[in-house]
A and B are shown apart, each in its own frame.
Chain A
Amino acid sequence: MNKATSKFADPLAQISRVKLRPRLDPSLPTWIGACGLVAVLVGVPLWWLVTTSLRGEQGLTLAHYQQIFFDRALLRAVRNSLLIAFWASVLATVIGSLMGWLVTRTDLPFKRLFRALVLASFVTPPFVGAFAWTMLAGPNAGWFNHLYRYTTGLKGYLFNIYSFEGVIFVIFLYSYPYAFTMITNALELVSSEMEEAAAILGANRFRTAWTITLPLITPALLGGFIFAFVHALALFGVPAILAMPAGFHTITTQIWVLLSQVPQEFEIVAALSVFLLLVAVVLLSLQKRVLGRKGFATITGRGMRRSPIALGRWRYPALLFCFFVVALAVFLPYLVLIKAAFSKAWAMPLQLENLTLDNWRVAVTGYSATKDAVTNTLELGVLTGSLGVSLAAFVAYAVNRKLFRGYQTLAYLSVAPTVVPAIVLAAGLLIAYSGPPFFLYGTIWILLLAYLTKELPVGYTQVDTTMKGIHIELEEASRILGAHRLSTMRNITLPLAKGGIIAAWLLMFIGAVRELSASILLYTSKSWVLSVLIIDLQNHGVIEVISVLSILMLIFTFITVAFMQKFVGRDTLGLNE
């Protein structure tokens, strides 16, 4: 307390003695509890992974790591993963940043609409997209290949989605928004002085863009690339739907298969997981260094209002290009899903006798797992949002108010799960909590742990940003009047941070609803969730019913996004599969 307040300390102390019961300040145990919880959430599964990966017949061994690089099949999976992630993120960065530039800097028509559509690609779960694309570009029955044969009269196919290129293509479709977001954020912050200087010196607009703007946003480009890369590396759904039928594995599908066959190979799974984790850690710390470099001092303040670059005769080709990308990511997949959901047989032409509502009945009542899946998914979403936001709020508060020494560690721990691919986290949880003393496997609680851990960085970042904007004076007033930390937080800080907290809740909710990569390892017949059911039903070939469930999942997502836009008025960020 500072000098000014100490003058009044005495009378205030009297008031508090009269009006408030004498109490212990429960704040400290709460902070320690929150801190410990975060450490356990992240630490325990990773600790188990590392120890399992080193476990040998006698004592410690590196043999399982060796096996990754000597077993031909495993090595192939590693190579596939890296190549797919690389090409998908190259495509995503190039296309995403081009669109980002068009939307922020030029006179492209329908800019707001395109931003909304990029958001729609962003929130579409990649596995739903992959599933839809099997109907669009399956080599024989896919729409595009039908069209190709029909128009050219040739046999064969134009594009086979069940292929290496197919996997790259679909991952690209749902990761370009990462690059897009990074670039638009950077471009909005780049001051336009240098661009104007170039213009004055006679450079035309494209030359300015090429020689001035592009170098300025290079860190953002690299950052977006790395983010997309790590995201692509961690995906399970897309390769499960497209790569396995084509006869190849990625690291994630390989982990899944090793755990779902007899005998289960925990040690190799752990070694593969640690490897995947290391790649993610190295890349993301590299990204941090690139983005944090102070060499690009121009990206610091708000850029001035500037007139958009006139695209001239390129305006409509650019519009067409943007439209083409979002059509591939959003319109066509949604269209084919809707058609299949109302058809008796999805590949049959759209005729009255092929239309039916029966798929919806079957999807909702036909399978005993469906009801459980929908209930569990929503329940887990709500729990993740609520518990996650509470935890995030405590942590963000403690960090922002520097409540104890080592608060930086807590902040670091809270964002640490960002670098842990979901399937790696799940493998760790599976090993850690499926034996004594914690029997969580087989319940929805192990899924909750996974979702909480995975969504914590999202929630924390959101709440943290909001809290940074809340001035400390009001809190001090409350404290002076005798309220302890927790009630101050409840009565003063949280109401002020309401917007950020709702946003964090919704973001964590969406994250939990669409989660697949961790759930696929952790679900059991007692804990179905919607995403896993969609993948599982593929094995039964009930494509029309899967379409219905996919649409249900999209509806949940879009309702949440709409809420967010309405109440918080902010774009969704930081979504992962």
Chain B
Amino acid sequence: MVRSRNLRVFLLLITILLTPASIRAQEGSLEQARKEGKVVWYTAMALEMAEQVANIFEKTYGIKVELTRSASERVVARVIQEAQAGINNVDVIEISEAGDFALLKQKGLLRAHRPKNYERFPSTFLLDKDGYFHAWRATIAQPVYNTRLVPASAVPKSWKDLVDPAWKDKQLKVHYVSGAGTNVMAALTKIYGWDYYRSLRKNNPVIVQAASQGVSVVAAGERAILVEGNYYNTMRVKAKGNPVNVIFPSEGAVLVLSPTGTALKAPHPTAAVFFLEYMFSEKIQQLLIDNTRLYVPHPNAKYPSDMPPLSQLKTLAVPVDELVKRQSEIKRMFTEIFGL
């Protein structure tokens, strides 16, 4: 017994000595994070997947994740509202619209943190030069259609095709509170101007609050086409056996990056950083690809063959500062054209 205990102590010592200092520091912070009890995460990610990410974190580290999912702009409004009321509730914030996220930085509500391997991330994912927020995932916004309601020959090939009156009463459009909605509007008005949306309005689209909601409406056959669907959600719904598919429009699909950062006054600061590092860790980043078909910044990420590599896709991405600049214009014009 004595011998084996000595052996264990020895092995432990060896392990500690051989472990790189950085990992030990992380273990120290894990203890601290556990003491803090939990981490509060506001996200715009589709609920099912966000729950999955949260569950794995809980199982791995024994720290509870308190999760709130809402449309991008609502998340930001909530964070600002709480800050104004003196409520420090949120630790980690993640949405799908960089323009709104920049507002949080501007208001001084964020704490800068550069995750590990930061310097090896593709530059597209580095959204803020001061390191306040980075994209931990990206998806492509693109039209989605119901394969039973739209015969192969009639599938639209471009964004331009969607304004065809043949689609009257058959479309869904996403509101600007959603990241997908804003990003696509910003990208398409650069090509076609607001007249594109005025024509789209004539098709009488139903307005939904989130792309994920839109995909399930199309899956149920309530509408034939969702103008701004997103790839990852559609793949999830499709995998369940629903008749949906994505369209890669000739003008290019729109890259939607999801900025992530920690709150300046996070009530669980160590757990917050720990969770952020976890989000950018190789394991979770690979999981985002494997389980949810998202694109990620991690340099070691491996993509399955069914996913078109980002480098080969024709994408339209809108730079952050442009999103910030055009935000009020997009809201105003959307309200003017679609009445909401």
Q: Which residues of A contact B (CB under 8 A)?
A: 73, 76, 138-142, 156, 162, 244-249, 257, 259-264, 345-347, 366-369, 434-436, 439, 441-442, 524-526, 536-543
Known: A262-B103, A525-B68. A442 touches B207 (CB 8 A): no
Nearest-neighbor residue (CB-CB) of A439 within chain B: B86
Residues in B whose Cβ lies below 8 Å from that of A542: 47, 216
Known: A261-B73, A261-B177, A345-B220. Is A439-B87 also a contact (CB below 8 A)?
Answer: yes
B322 within 8 A of A: no
In the complex where A73-B339, A368-B51 touch, is A246 in contact with B206 (Cβ < 8 A)? Answer: yes
B255 to chain A, nearest CB (A): 23
Given contacts A368-B67, A441-B85, A524-B82, contact A141 B208 (CB under 8 A): no
Render B281-325 as a binary contact track against A, CB cut-off 8 A, 1 for contact.
Answer: 000000000000000000000000000000000000000000000
A368 in contact with B66 (CB, 8 Å): yes
Query: Could you tell me the distance in whole angstroms from the C-beta of B198 to the nearest C-beta in chain A?
Result: 14
For chain A, what secondary structure do more than half of its interface residues adopt (helix, strand, loop), or is it mixed? loop
Q: How many angstroms between the C-alpha atoms of A436 and B221 in the bound complex?
A: 50
Q: Knowing that A139-B169, A524-B78, A540-B213 are A-B contacts, what are 13 other residue pairs whose CB atoms are under 8 Å apart, sorted by A's residue number?
A: A140-B222, A246-B206, A247-B207, A247-B340, A248-B340, A259-B81, A345-B242, A442-B87, A524-B82, A526-B89, A539-B209, A540-B212, A541-B214
A73 to B340, CA, bound (A): 8
Q: What is the total of A-B residue contacts with beta carbons within 8 Å?
A: 137
Fill in one digit per residue for B60-81: 1 if any A CB lies within 8 Å of its CB, else 0: 0000011111110110111011
B94 partner residues in chain A, CB cutoff 8 A: none
Q: Which residue of A lies closest to B176 (CB)?
A: A261
Residues of A within 8 A of B220 (CB): 141, 345-347, 543
CA distance A249 to B339 in the complex (A): 8
Report B-chain residues with C-beta under 8 Å of the C-beta of A246.
Answer: 206-207
Partner of B54, one of A142, A368, A439, A525: A368
Contact of A347 among B71, B222, B338, B339 (CB under 8 A): B222
B222 touches A138 (CB 8 A): yes
CA distance in complex: A368, B336 (Å): 38
- Report A-chain residues with C-beta under 8 Å of the C-beta of B68: 369, 524-525
Which residue of A73, A264, A539, A541 is within 8 Å of B81 (Cβ)?
A264
A564 to B219, CA, bound (A): 43
A162→B339 CA distance, assembly (Å): 14
With contacts A368-B51, A368-B54 taken as known, whether A524 is within 8 angstroms of B89 at the C-beta atoms is: yes
CB of B77, distance to nearest CB on chain A (Å): 5
Cα(A260)–Cα(B75), bound, Å = 9
User: Interface of B with A (CB < 8 Å)?
Assistant: 40, 42, 46-48, 51, 54, 65-71, 73-74, 76-78, 80-82, 84-87, 89, 100, 103, 149, 169-170, 177, 206-210, 212-217, 219-224, 242, 331, 335-336, 338-340
Q: Is the CB of A347 within 8 A of B221?
A: yes
* Complex contacts, A436 vs chain B, CB 8 Å: 86
Considering the complex of A and B, which 10 residue pairs feature the smallest CB-CB distances, nearest first?
A541-B216, A525-B68, A434-B85, A141-B222, A347-B220, A541-B213, A442-B87, A539-B210, A245-B206, A141-B221
Residues from chain A with a CB closer than 8 A to the CB of B86 are 435-436, 439
For the complex formed, measure the closest distance between the CB of B304 and the CB atoms of chain A, giving whole angstroms.
Answer: 25
For B69, what are the chain A residues with a Cβ–Cβ distance below 8 Å?
Answer: 540
Cβ distance B147 to chain A, nearest Cβ, rounded Å? 14
Contacts of A248 in B (CB 8 A): 339-340
Query: Given A245-B206, A442-B87, A540-B69, A140 and B223 touching (CB < 8 A)?
Result: yes
Question: Are A366 and B206 within 8 A (Cβ)?
Answer: no
In this complex, which of A264, A435, A436, A541 has the most chain B Cβ atoms within 10 angstroms of its Cβ?
A: A541
- Point out the residues of chain A lying under 8 angstroms from B40, CB to CB: 525
Report Cα–Cα, A540/B237, bound state, in Å: 12
Q: Is the CB of B213 within 8 A of A264?
A: no
Whether the pair B340, A525 counts as a contact (CB closer than 8 A) is no
Least distance between A380 CB and chain B CB atoms (Å): 19
How far in angstroms is the closest Cβ of chain B from A68?
A: 15
Q: How far is the CA of A306 from the CA of B247 in the complex (A)?
A: 71
B67/A262 in contact, CB under 8 A = no
Q: Which residues of A contact B335 (CB under 8 A)?
A: 73
The residue from A76, A140, A257, A439 contacting B221, defined by CB atoms under 8 A apart: A140
With A540-B46, A542-B216, A543-B216 already in contact, the answer to whether A262 and B223 are too (CB < 8 A) is: no
Q: List 30 A-B contacts (CB under 8 A).
A: A139-B169, A140-B223, A141-B220, A244-B207, A248-B340, A249-B339, A249-B340, A259-B81, A260-B73, A261-B73, A345-B219, A345-B220, A345-B242, A347-B222, A367-B47, A368-B65, A369-B68, A434-B87, A435-B85, A442-B82, A442-B89, A524-B89, A525-B40, A525-B66, A525-B67, A538-B209, A539-B70, A539-B208, A539-B212, A541-B210
Q: Tell me the bound Cα distance from A91 to B115 in angstroms.
A: 61
Q: Is the CB of A264 within 8 A of B206?
A: no
Q: Are A264 and B78 in contact (CB under 8 A)?
A: no
- Smallest Cβ distance from A526 to chain B, in angstroms? 7
